[in-house]
Structure 1
């Protein structure tokens, strides 16, 4: 079966990581699958090529060049002759549909919706138009996949075809996030953490829905009470002098923070953490929460998207958009003994292994693809 995956872009993000992991996990042989990015190679293009897959970057922009990108994608489709086109994210879904419409041998089309949708009006105007176009065309694909039950419900209430919808959660490679004492020592040393420090981690690109400001305010609240905490923050554009974050951390408290920017070795840095915090104000399926749990970290997370389903009883959930509630949640975790936190971390890792293992998720995709192609 030839698979062609069409994604909006390949920069660092949850959808891009999910596609990479599926291909890495054996969803397809490199000779029978290819990836088309409507924009550029980003950070995942080279990584997918390293797996042996062809990656085509069409260099479109969010303007009138999008129809040109679709035409280019259609030409690639005719050359590749896919049995199935998998769209990823709203623009990728549209391109998958249009390419299939003009194909000589129409392939099966599957969509993948990767975000929550709390308020359509809050989206950028161009994004609203693309989401509406997805809604109008949502009966055309044979399946519309969501990575969270919340996202499916939100989109189907907007008008996405419910008969096509199904949820396949993200999958995680437990080996990649396995606890490792050597990596723990190395990253703690690089962060300047002492044995007595409790390292609290946060990983997210700077975006309003990640609510870094809420996290920083909760950190300042706790640092006014105790000084054995070290906050390690990873993410593109996440620095204390960024206009969105400037002035939140009082200068005397800056020494309790380590800002690492965007990193490709997040799994290593998670080994050096003692707990993890997700502060998002909205999410669908927060990958980073599951990655932290797979790393054996006790987690405090805001109750958004499918966070409650991911964390179960192996962590602490708090209200979103409430820095005081977040500080109280972290404080409750800090009040546990080190042995209790470690036991919670082991339970978190077991939960990811049981419910979100990569092999099981790859098999669900593979089985769906085979069923759809054989029944067309």
Structure 2
């Protein structure tokens, strides 16, 4: 069979560490380079992962736009860049890239454009005004600007359709996970406890997320305080951007709860597979998610999860963990206590089921194949 090489340009708002950026990185790692010639354009900077993409031999162009600040000069530079690159297909990721990248592709004469939705909470209290304005503009433009809209979450699809997006253009492709990278690891359990100066049998509850109002770290501290009253030997491991002792709001909340001795703020880590495999339970206290990568990563490591019912979290976890309403930190604490009080054999069995659920539904190889099939179909349609 002879394959046609498709020049595929990804336009993304930025390349810092985040769920959307991480999924794009994983997609690029496994994309069939005999059929696709990928190029990446960041509206802002190359961030933390741009260099990793370039190390794969994939060109990365960074325009240097300031977040939330329109710049007609840099927009025109994007149009010119696309005219030079002449991609067969442009796939934009995240609201600002959907709007600006989609318009630039149209002005540059690109015939095939797809968007990507990776957000599910549109409440004013949890989003910047500028983000919601761009989202509303995208909703209006969705009927004529993109040919297709990929959503990583069915809940996100429904929320955006309700906000005015064109329902007929949506396609669901979930995030995927590398089960050879994220896997149970007894050595990780031992080494992380040694790093933290804890006995081997210390139970660890983890929360892995950047510091952001949507992630509800302060609510998690409330839940941890309830867990501590029942299980004072449990420790809490938090990792992510700005999850550091110098974060005064987080540090003060921990201090007020009297939990300084059992909280570990590790900042952004490059050893997430090891960290995940060391946990007994992963918690997600978020107010809003689309498809949280951390759940799939933890479950692939055989770690059960307790989550708030946001985005597709409940669908991901299924019957292998526990789900509580958003904002219900008492319920989150109760479920954490329930899982921590299971026997080791019971919790390990739950972890085995969690890993198998990821293997069956979210294996990265199958997810990348769905993206490839989508790109091939979109290109063959010639729309």
**How would you bin the TM-score normalised by the shorter chain?**
over 0.9
Change (3 A) 1:131 1:170: same
Q: CA deviation at 1:226?
A: 2.6
Instruction: Specify the alignment match of 2:141 in structure 1.
Output: 137
- Could you tell which deviates more after superposition, 79-88 or 176-185? 176-185
Instruction: Specify the alignment match of 2:24 in structure 1.
Output: 19
Q: CA deviation at 1:312?
A: 0.5
Q: CA deviation at 1:239?
A: 3.2
Which of 37, 48, 53 pairs up with 1:48?
A: 53
Q: CA deviation at 1:100?
A: 2.1
Q: CA deviation at 1:199?
A: 1.0
Please identify runs of 4+ aligned residues in structure 1 that moved more than 6 A.
Answer: none
- Aligned pairs (5 A) from 1:224-243: 224-240=229-245, 242-243=247-248
Q: CA deviation at 1:63?
A: 4.8
- Aligned pairs (5 A) from 1:87-102: 87-102=92-107
TM-score normalised per structure 1: 0.95
Give the aligned CA root-mean-square deviation in angstroms.
1.8
Instruction: Specify the alignment match of 1:117 in structure 2.
Output: 121
Instruction: Specify the alignment match of 2:338 in structure 1.
Output: 332
Find the residue that maps to 1:15 and give its secondary structure. helix
Instruction: Specify the alignment match of 1:197 in structure 2.
Output: 202
Q: What is the CA–CA distance in structure 2 between the aligned matches of 1:308 and 1:284, rounded to whole Å?
A: 11
Find the residue that maps to 1:370 and give its secondary structure. helix
> Is residue 2:325 matched to residue 1:292?
no
> Is residue 2:165 matched to residue 1:160?
yes
Q: CA deviation at 1:240?
A: 4.9
> Is residue 2:273 matched to residue 1:282?
no
Instruction: Specify the alignment match of 2:3 in structure 1.
Output: none
Assess if the C-alpha contact under 8 Å between 1:117 and 1:155 holds in 2.
no
> Is residue 2:66 matched to residue 1:61?
yes
1:252-307 C-alpha deviation (Å, 9 max, x unpaired): 53111111001121111112111111111111111111111111101111111111
Q: How many residues matched?
A: 375
Assess if the C-alpha contact under 8 Å between 2:10 and 2:41 holds in 1.
yes
Instruction: Specify the alignment match of 1:323 in structure 2.
Output: 329
Change (3 A) 1:94 1:118: closer
Find the residue that maps to 1:43 and give its secondary structure. coil
Q: CA deviation at 1:120?
A: 5.1
TM-score normalised per structure 2: 0.93
Assess if the C-alpha contact under 8 Å between 1:30 and 1:53 holds in 2.
no
Find the residue that maps to 2:189 and give its secondary structure. helix
